[in-house]
Chains A and B, each alone.
Chain A
């Protein structure tokens, strides 16, 4: 079936890019990590002071540009918004902080596993648990409510912001920070990163690739579609890592990772409970923002804010472990997200009406 081939192909492309970017200069096991790249970009803009993670990652504007081009070609640019924007911002903030306790978004969790980092197994357990909890709320009627069509200029806001980031990257004005050591100093060439981001954004828009969605649909509606892309992504990244010698099985000495099992699990659980509440993983939010979805763009702003807050407030983990405040945050985030999901337990009334007449869409 064409649709199935498409999603598998998207998984193959993103898995290949994720593994290849790490070989081409991005940090090891971090070929693509949406949250880490947002954190680096926030640092470059001076929004946090962690000197080791400051760089405008070209993949970030690339995701948006790729999704925009694909949506333009498919006539799927849809300026929409208005579905509980402030709460989306807050959920996204918590998703970012939680992901930085684990040290990666769901996509990086898969790439870490594919490189042999067994700490990510705890992340995987948390990922499934977080999505499962999200599914429980969804089954009980959780909803942030309906979005509405918005004025046409909204369709290009994410695009213009992405272009502005690229301009700052190329022009290098003095107020932009740039790491000289640490993960922020490890980068593939700008053109390579930008092209990779573009390609990932393009295929992810076409196929609706979403890491969280794969597990969610499997649990919620027994649908294997998205998870087949997820599996392909893992398989291809694993293959590339084994062939290139980058595969290193074990818990110890894994790059940009810590060995605190409980907080690897809780960090990813919070990130994916939040992603389930937002309707998509961080990568998916970029894709939707590129399509003109203002709720997704607000979500991206929240992810960006959360990534900055995680470092400003000393919540983010590092290779040496999770700070006490980060541990407390990981637990609190799951509780707060659960309370939010409970509060929005029957947020949208799905109207169903009977009709013996033809009902036109619109």
Chain B
């Protein structure tokens, strides 16, 4: 699952599709991916407001910048951090 995909991010944006998964699965998947990255950008797709809030909070607490765009019932989070 996520483990084998996290090594392929250089130069491109990884998109994590967590739509339809119930909490805490989206936040777990995002956290697992972020923990393997020091910097860069990923996009997380969600369709639950609760999961959106959780993913945003956890990413921000871990020092990542998050922007959210929404399309009625679906959300697209851009999570990024610049290399230090």
> Which chain A residues have a beta carbon within 8 Å of chain B's beta carbons?
3, 74, 76, 78, 80, 83, 138-139, 141, 143-149, 208, 213, 216-217, 220-221, 223, 225, 279-280, 295, 346, 348-356, 359-362
Contacts and interface: CB of A to CB of B under 8 A. Distances in A.
Contact of B33 (A83, A216, A280, A352): A352
Nearest to B17: A351
A149 B73 contact: yes
A361 B45 contact: yes
Contacts of A208: 50, 53-54
Given A354-B9, A355-B12, A356-B12, A349 B76 contact: no
A221 B18 contact: no
Interface string B20-62: 1111110111010100000000010101111001100110010
A92 B8 CA distance: 40
6 contacts: A78-B73, A208-B54, A225-B57, A352-B14, A355-B43, A361-B71
A352 B71 contact: no
Contacts of B15: 352-355, 359
B31 A360 contact: no
Contacts of B74: 361-362
Contact of B22 (A144, A349, A359): A144
A146 to B, nearest CB: 3
Interface pairs A-B: 4 shortest CB-CB: A146-B20, A361-B76, A279-B22, A361-B74
Contacts of B5: 352, 354
Interface residues of B, number: 44
Contacts of B50: 208
Main secondary structure of the interface of A (DSSP, over half): loop
A295 B75 CA distance: 21
Nearest to A217: B24
Contacts of A83: 20, 22
A355 B75 CA distance: 17
Contact of B17 (A3, A139, A353, A356): A353
A361 to B, nearest CB: 4
Nearest to B68: A361
B16 interface: yes
A304 B76 CA distance: 36
B8 A146 contact: no
Contacts of B53: 3, 208
B22 A350 contact: no
Given A76-B49, A355-B15, A350 B29 contact: yes
Given A354-B9, A360-B71, A216 B24 contact: yes
B1 interface: yes
B58 A223 contact: yes
B2 interface: yes
Contacts of A76: 49
Contacts of B13: 354-356, 359
A279 B26 CA distance: 12
B69 interface: yes
Nearest to B18: A350
A186 B55 CA distance: 42
A264 to B, nearest CB: 27
Contact of B76 (A220, A346, A360): A360
A139 to B, nearest CB: 8
Contacts of A280: 23
